[in-house]
Amino acid sequence: MSSILTNTSAMVALQTLQSINSNLESVQGEISTGKSIASAKDNSAIWAISKVMESDVNGFKAISDSLSLGESTVAVARQASETVTDLLTQIKGKVVAAQEDNVDRAKIQTDIAALTKQVTSVVNAAQFNGLNLVDGNITSTNTDGNTGIDILSSLDRAADGSVTSSSIGVASQNLSLTAGTALTAAAANVGTDAGTAGVIDANDGGTNDSIKLDTFAFLDNSGAATGTAALARGTAGLDNTVATGLMEGDLMTFQVGTTEAQYTVRAGDTAEAIVAGMKSALQDSGISATDFTMDIDTVAGELKITNNTNADVAFSFSSSRGSGGLSGLAAIDVSTGAGATAALGSIENLINTSIDASASFGSVQGRIETQNSFIGKLSDSLKSGIGSMVDADMEAASARLQALQVQQQLGVQALSIANQAPQSVLSLFR
């Protein structure tokens, strides 16, 4: 049946042409934007995922900037501590030279004083953007629980969509020369001093011809002094204002007769380690093995010094804490033979302190570099993943465009033919 009111063929041709035009518009949009999913209406689920990933990429860009800033800050601190190590090595050379009697110790001491000032200058200048990791002014606690700073290192997205940040903790290393304050006898002392105070009695067959260095207490991480070993500076919970316990960097001075020795406490030292170190320091300072016998009880953690002479010998012992890890440097004085001998043991401990600081900064700097490189690669992977989801396949879009253009031309012709069909009804009325 033919009808001039309802042209079914024209309606079908029109619907087909509209569909072709819609697809053609979509392909043209892909070509112009370069994206197959440019808005939420194209594919809401994929679009939402891509937008979340894009926000993460922007976040990682900020993290990369943070890591670069942190790496530069740590690099300055590492360079400073390495320079301090070099300067301390030069001072050690001066101290060794002062061991010889036939030298001008006063001039050597002048050189040491100049190098000491240079150490202070390096420590004070080691700042980046106002942050100095080696001058002892940092009091905040980092993510590792130590005194230091945190460097933003990552964004961690959980399966439920929640996001948390991660940080790399950088422990500060106090290499300042701030003078020490005296610790109490509870921290370290000659626990047994029978007979005359401050004197090791002459060896006359009595019982008062020896003393024992056997009193030690260590700071703990709860702000008290109940520990069993020396904690590192900056350990979380450690209160370095408590003067009744020992910690890393505390300086002990022991003088027996004319022999003076110093020992600087290192992190992890126990009572046994301290008495062994003090014995070595006394030996290095030239204490007479004939006049004095030194015995160590490693179980009890004590150093017993016996006077083998027939004369009373004075002794003194003190311990102090400097806020700076190099606080003992200012006390080095090689102007006398005894001072030069004592300085030899002190400078070795100070060099170890600066070496430990350099190693700490070097380790964390390497970690930051690795994380920064990973963040860059991760950002690239995320961008690639986003592209695979939303970017248009230009080769396929080009082929579809040409096909749809042909279909559009055919659709127009089909609609034109369908529109002409009612005119054939006129032939019935001729």
Give the pLDDT confidence of 32-68 residue by residue, as tens digits. 777 878 777 777 888 888 888 888 888 888 899 989 9
> Quick one: pLDDT at residue 331?
80
Q: Is residue 192 part of a domain?
A: yes
Q: Is residue 300 part of a domain?
A: yes
39-47 long-range contacts (CB < 8 A, ≥24 apart) are: 46/389, 46/390, 47/390
* Below-70 pLDDT ranges, the chain: 1-2, 179-180, 205-206, 322-323, 430
Query: CB neighbours (10 Å) of residue 5?
Result: 5
> Quick one: pLDDT at residue 190?
92
CA distance 252 to 269: 13
186 plus 263 within the same structural domain: yes
318 plus 409 within the same structural domain: no
275 is in which domain, residue-wise? Answer: 181-323
189 plus 57 within the same structural domain: no
191 plus 150 within the same structural domain: no
169 plus 219 within the same structural domain: no
> Quick one: pLDDT at residue 179?
67
> Quick one: pLDDT at residue 1?
62
Q: Is residue 334 part of a domain?
A: no
The burial class, CB within 10 Å (0-12 / 13-18 / 19+), for 430 is: exposed
Q: Is residue 215 part of a domain?
A: yes
65 plus 130 within the same structural domain: yes
Question: How many domains are there within the chain?
Answer: 3
pTM of the model: 0.65
Q: Is residue 342 part of a domain?
A: no
Cβ burial 89-126 (10 Å sphere, 16+ → b, else e) = eebbebbeebeeeeeebeebbebbeebbeebbebbeeb
> Quick one: pLDDT at residue 157?
81
> Quick one: pLDDT at residue 323?
66
190 plus 216 within the same structural domain: yes
> Quick one: pLDDT at residue 164?
84
At 201-256, the pLDDT tens digits run 888 766 788 999 999 999 999 999 999 999 987 787 888 889 999 998 788 889 99
Query: Dihedral (C-alpha) 105, 111, 116, 120: value to the nearest 10 degrees?
Result: 160
19 plus 137 within the same structural domain: no
69 plus 29 within the same structural domain: no
> Quick one: pLDDT at residue 407?
87
Show which of 278, 303, 323 is a domain's final residue.
Answer: 323
Show which of 306, 323, 340 is a domain's final residue.
Answer: 323
193 plus 308 within the same structural domain: yes
Q: Domain holding 148: CATH number?
A: 1.20.1330.10
Q: Is residue 28 part of a domain?
A: yes
191 plus 265 within the same structural domain: yes
111 plus 219 within the same structural domain: no
Q: Is residue 198 part of a domain?
A: yes
Average pLDDT over all residues of the chain: 86
Beta carbons of 383 and 64 less than 8 angstroms apart: no
Q: Is residue 339 part of a domain?
A: no
